[in-house]
Structure 1
């Protein structure tokens, strides 16, 4: 409890823009209410108590006491949804740093990174794998408007097999004992218990490492780690508690097994083959490609950051970037936007949009949908976020140009509002 209090106090020490208790008129040059729909012309968006009240044609004059935001030279559209961001970390750190860095330091990084991410246009962020105290405190801080940042969904620590990706590797046994995150499980019963513990702590969803990972020190390959039975126990338990499951997965058999177990999203999916993609399609599993992660890795290759066992895995993944996502899209698997920010610098998230056009073969409208209503549907939040309509959360951004014609318009966001609060 003392650690939880210290992190919460740290996060609440700064202040964000106050909640908009009054009425705000937003004069938009054009409005995309939902990706795929034709843009409306000049409009007035009325926001009150954090919600969209109405969207009316033309520019309604503001009465005394009504705040006016002039975006008459911009396209206003729903805030973007980032499905995979590690707010508490930055790229290029030595794996041995975890022996000295604290949760409090992770919180400091996260406070900075979540503001940067929001200013880049991302008004909802799913955080897979972060210390529970930090993730839960971040979620509260932005929800209460105490800090500038996006709506946050957190998994707490991801679940891992002993010695797998997500567990601690590469240290002496006595050091491993100190660093143990108590997030590993063996067998269906223990794995179900770990899910229930996460639910008790208030996690929004469950993240599992269904396969090995690229940047961890484990050298046990990139394919299936959890057994089929363990994954089924995790998914069944999580769904019973109202939580979805995100599965970090690179290797094809791990992807296939996770999809058959009923996970909701596959993160990375690097080596997904036809059988894995068909399992995803049949089971309605969404694909979160995290293509910018490979950019962050490529930029650090040869710098001495990666240990020999990691560099082998890095080179293996860089040879196939985007291929699985392209095949998934062609097969009809839903692709939703997520970048793995933290493996590259936070704030560069929007660079992934062009990759979906160039590498995955999506249209700009499909890309925009993947980061708005498509992602909201996967989260079960399609009645709250992902579109602009009366009753929805006032999560919106403004850009110049038309992102449904040119996705690069999302690279420069001039205005952001989260829950009716402007992000300065």
Structure 2
């Protein structure tokens, strides 16, 4: 059945007053086992509270009057998707560079809450947020408390950069405002600074650590490729992060910066634009993962041709980097580099995360492998492979549905029609 907003509110009100927690019976036309690629036809997923209890053959009838049967008989059902690279606080536009001087923290928070809900409605029930102002930590907490709607967030808080590096928050400021930010602001210039910056992120409540190992496209700085950390600095960061059980990620376009990041112990390389075959071999040797963010590359290349969209210093970098990401991904995947799904949403419009699947398949990755990268692979990297990323008994009920078989038409994942996260239905039509 289609659950309207009014019905949803009434169900919640009833449950609150009576203390009753109804079960859900999802009648599914086809369920994808993301591990094997097998499909279970005409089945029922039974959900109690926030967990999957059972997957039964046939369309099981609800057991109690107040339980809810949901008709997904014409849908293809799979686990909620996981995006390992988003920026939930922002969305790039021509005013973005000026807004950091005009927006208050509350302004950022209201926008972030909207972007989070858009992301959830697109079928992404879990994301890794890789850098913002710190509002991302508060947003994660608000979502976990049920105050805001959004995906389950694992956040880096503020990214860690070197002075003038890609994530230095004062890039582009005038000299009076530039100052000399340090580890508290996420700017480091020694191994000791790196240790302190990780501990600062931990103190603030971050879940993961992100560094900017090379220059970047959208920062107001000349180079998009140069290495910006020494190996010693990176090792200090990753060793400390390990002490706090924090996954590490490195933004990296240039090859030398990637190699330093891999040798320094970074687990995921974001973008990997100008990755050489030598670096691909290093990725395999050190069991590092590439998060390709092809969609971001496509989008920044398009926006670079819009006059005034980016500052002049950004345009040549966007033109150079954007078209390269997909071809590098194709070579890396063919060479056997492990892939984790990530989109860099926020560099372009939130909610378009599903476009990444089409680009991955277009570059030679089978649809099932692409879906696995956004489910079981990412769940494993986040350390929650026994909780999310699959539809199985005792896993959280993170479930989505689409109109067509994504193994045959992967672009159907750009139009998710049903979203359940943690046992709560957020979208149904």
Same fold (TM over 0.5): yes
1:221 shift after superposition: 4.3
In structure 1, what is the equivalent of residue 251 of structure 2? 248
Q: Give me the whole-angstrom Cα distance separating, in 2, the residues matched to 1:247 and 1:371.
A: 19
Contact 1:235/1:263 (<8 A) preserved: yes
Q: Give me the whole-angstrom Cα distance separating, in 2, the residues matched to 1:130 and 1:319.
A: 25
* Residue number among 395, 420, 425 corresponding to 1:422 in the alignment: 425
In structure 2, what is the equivalent of residue 323 of structure 1? 327
> Structure 1: 5+ residue runs without aligned partners?
1-14
Q: Give me the whole-angstrom Cα distance separating, in 2, the residues matched to 1:173 and 1:206.
A: 29
Contact 1:212/1:225 (<8 A) preserved: yes
Contact 1:35/1:368 (<8 A) preserved: no
Query: What's the CA shift string for 1:331-386, capped at 9, x where partnerless?
Result: 11111111111111111111111100112x10011111111111111212111111
TM-score by length of 1: 0.92
* Residue number among 248, 260, 263 corresponding to 2:263 in the alignment: 260
Specify the SS of the correspondent of 2:172.
coil
1:255 shift after superposition: 0.6
Q: Give me the whole-angstrom Cα distance separating, in 1, the residues matched to 2:86 and 2:92.
A: 12
User: Residues 344-355 of structure 1: matches in 2 within 5 Å?
Assistant: 344-355=348-359
In structure 1, what is the equivalent of residue 33 of structure 2? 33
Specify the SS of the correspondent of 1:369.
helix
Contact 2:298/2:323 (<8 A) preserved: no
1:37 shift after superposition: 2.7
Q: Give me the whole-angstrom Cα distance separating, in 2, the residues matched to 1:154 and 1:253.
A: 26
* 1:101 partnered with 2:103: yes
In structure 2, what is the equivalent of residue 177 of structure 1? 179
* 1:396 partnered with 2:375: no
In structure 2, what is the equivalent of residue 86 of structure 1? 87
1:316 shift after superposition: 1.6
Specify the SS of the correspondent of 2:344.
coil
In structure 2, what is the equivalent of residue 7 of structure 1? none
Change (3 A) 1:144 1:325: same
In structure 2, what is the equivalent of residue 384 of structure 1? 387
Q: Give me the whole-angstrom Cα distance separating, in 1, the residues matched to 2:335 and 2:383.
A: 23
Once the two structures are overlaid, the 10-residue window that deviates more, 64-73 or 312-321, is 312-321
Q: Give me the whole-angstrom Cα distance separating, in 1, the residues matched to 2:248 and 2:178.
A: 27
Specify the SS of the correspondent of 1:218.
coil
Query: What's the CA shift string for 1:307-327, capped at 9, x where partnerless?
Result: 222112112213423122111
Specify the SS of the correspondent of 1:321.
helix
TM-score by length of 2: 0.91
**Residues matched between the structures, number:** 407
Q: Give me the whole-angstrom Cα distance separating, in 2, the residues matched to 1:163 and 1:238.
A: 23
* Residue number among 119, 122, 129 corresponding to 1:120 in the alignment: 122
1:65 shift after superposition: 1.8
In structure 2, what is the equivalent of residue 4 of structure 1? none
Q: CA RMSD in A?
A: 1.8
1:23 shift after superposition: 1.1
Q: Give me the whole-angstrom Cα distance separating, in 1, the residues matched to 2:322 and 2:155.
A: 28
In structure 2, what is the equivalent of residue 226 of structure 1? 229
1:179 shift after superposition: 8.6
Greater relative contact order structure (CA < 8 Å, 6+ sep): 1
Specify the SS of the correspondent of 2:69.
strand
In structure 2, what is the equivalent of residue 292 of structure 1? 295
Q: Give me the whole-angstrom Cα distance separating, in 2, the residues matched to 1:313 and 1:82.
A: 25
* 1:72 partnered with 2:76: no
Query: What's the CA shift string for 1:246-269, capped at 9, x where partnerless?
Result: 100000010111011111100111
Change (3 A) 1:225 1:178: closer
In structure 2, what is the equivalent of residue 154 of structure 1? 155
Q: Give me the whole-angstrom Cα distance separating, in 2, the residues matched to 1:307 and 1:399.
A: 39
In structure 1, what is the equivalent of residue 374 of structure 2? 371
In structure 2, what is the equivalent of residue 311 of structure 1? 315
Query: What's the CA shift string for 1:118-147, capped at 9, x where partnerless?
Result: 111101011000222x11221122222222
Q: Give me the whole-angstrom Cα distance separating, in 2, the residues matched to 1:234 and 1:21.
A: 45
